[in-house]
Each structure stands twice: as structure tokens, then as C-alpha cells.
Amino acid sequence: MKNWLLFTTFFGLWLSTQLSSGLQDYLAYSFILTFGVLHGANDIVLIRKQYQNLNTTGAIIPYILVISLVTLLFLYSRALVLAVFIVISGYHFGEQHLRERLTNSHWFHRFFFTFYGLTILFMIFYANIVEVQQIIYDVTGYLFLSGYIKIGLYINLIGLSISVAFLKFKKVLRINLVKELFMFFVFYIVFNVASLLWAFSIYFILWHSIPSLKDQMEVLYGSSKPSYLMDYVKSSWIYWVVSILGLFILYLLLQKHIDYFISVVLYLLAAITFPHVIVMSKLEKNKGI
């Protein structure tokens, strides 16, 4: 699968040299609102899969409570929600990408996952630093100095290096350092050539959402063959539609207060990411990590 992902990544890189930033962003929105939202739309079904005696209502209530808590936290402090969202997303990206590299569970793997994901995110931020500063200002009202993003990137790179060394020393990490460094080099090129949203979309869709869809289909149907994708869509389309409608309503409510639509997308992603990470982490724990 990785060879296909690598080829598609280079194709996305080529597209970024052929399309204007505006067209790249529209393409990114379309993928985020389809594959991106879809990969988190079957959480209720996954919860019921883990807890056989739990009905749909019983699965939905705690999910809604978490989303409501995020919303209340947003009303209290936008900056705090954004910061927590970035950290949680970093952990989730790392968990999805690296969990199969662990031969055994180890308490330090949480730091490993988080440092990896945050390194990816801060690489994107640093490559598009002016736009990221504007988004942070639009979302929080605070001017985030570019030096902080650079320091954040260095801190996470150091943390990732220490994590790899420690887990390799403990003999619980199976990883090809040359291949991983090559992938970081590829990501570095993509993030510096593509627009901010398209760069994020390439990683988020190709290296997170699609592999996550594959893993979820294996849990739900015992196979990730393409023929099961329609079954996945049939069981998740209602939640997917609700998410899209929620985005539209959120946009209507906040359009006078937030200048950039990307900021609204961030809030929607934050609201659905928190419970989604809990569900997927529980799923991975049940698989032995």
C-alpha cells in the first residue's frame, strides 16, 4: 500500500506545480469533506462493534457529550481549543502511522506518536508560516510569532529522535530509519511546494484517512477489499451528512466573525476529532497496543 501512497503523493506534488493556490485549496476542501470526514463518520458503528450490548442511542450520547464539551471549551478559550486540537491531532496521526512499528506495548509510545505527528504538523506550519500566523490570529485573536513555530519544530524533532532512540534501545520498535527519513524528505518537498491546505490535505487524506479507512474496514468486515467500501459508506453516510450539515450551519453562524473559511473547518475538525481519537485509541488498545 505504501508504494501506491508514495506514487499518489508525488502525483499530488505534481498537481501543486500545475494548479493555482486557489484551485489547490478547492481540491483540498473536496477531499477533506469526503474522505477526511468519512474516515471519522463510522465511529458509532465502531463503538457498537466493541461493546456488543450497547445500542445506537447509548453509543451516540457520550459522543455528543464530548463534542458539546469541546464546543463549551471553544466558547471559553479558542486558543486553548486550538492548542489541544493540534496536540491531539499530532498524537492521532502518529498512532495511525506508527503503531504497527511497535513489537510490544510500551508506556513511552504515546510520546513517540505525539512527537511524530507534531513534527509533521509543524513542518507544514513552518513551510507556510505567514498563512499559519494569519489563521492563528483569525481563530484566537493572538499574533503567534514565527520564531515560536520554528522552536516548536525543533523541539518535536528532538523529541522524536529521543523517542526513536529510546524505543529502539528497549527493543520494542521495528523501523527502517532510511525509509522514514526519505519520507520526511518527500513530505518536506510537498509541504514547501503545495499551498497550505493542499499540503495538509495530501498528508491528511493519503497518509492518515485512507489507511484509517482500511483499518476500520478490517475491524468491521474482516477485510479491507475495495468491495467493502460501499458497505462502509452505507453504514456511515448519515453521520457523514450530519457532519457536513454541521459544517454548513457553523459557517453560517460564524461567517461574520471569522474571515477565513479554513478557520471554520478547523473548528469542525476539532469537534469531531476529539471523540474520534478516543474511539480509535480504544480500538488500537483492544488490538494489543
Distance CA 202, CA 190 (A): 8
Residue 101: burial class (beta carbons within 10 Å; 0-12, 13-18, 19+): middle
pLDDT digits (tens, 9 = 90+) for 51-93: 766 666 666 777 777 777 777 777 778 788 888 889 998 999 9
pLDDT digits (tens, 9 = 90+) for 242-251: 778 877 776 6
The cell numbers describing 88, all together, are 491531539
Q: Which of 75, 107, 109, 95 is CA-nearest to residue 211?
A: 95
Residue-level pLDDT at 287: 59
Q: Can you give the pLDDT of all 289 residues of the chain as single tens digits?
A: 567 888 999 999 999 999 998 899 889 988 988 888 888 777 777 777 767 666 666 667 777 777 777 777 777 787 888 888 899 989 999 998 888 888 877 788 889 999 999 999 999 999 999 989 888 887 788 888 888 999 999 999 999 999 999 998 888 888 888 999 999 999 999 999 999 999 999 999 999 989 888 888 888 888 778 778 888 888 778 878 877 887 777 667 666 655 555 566 666 667 777 777 777 777 666 655 5
Distance CA 245, CA 237 (A): 12
Residue partners of 135: CB distance under 8 A and separation at least 6? 260, 262, 263, 266
Distance CA 191, CA 193 (A): 6
Mean pLDDT of the chain: 83
Distance CA 101, CA 24 (A): 33
Residue type, 54: L
Residue-level pLDDT at 243: 75
Domain spans of the chain, in order of start: 1-287
The cell numbers describing 143, all together, are 499574533
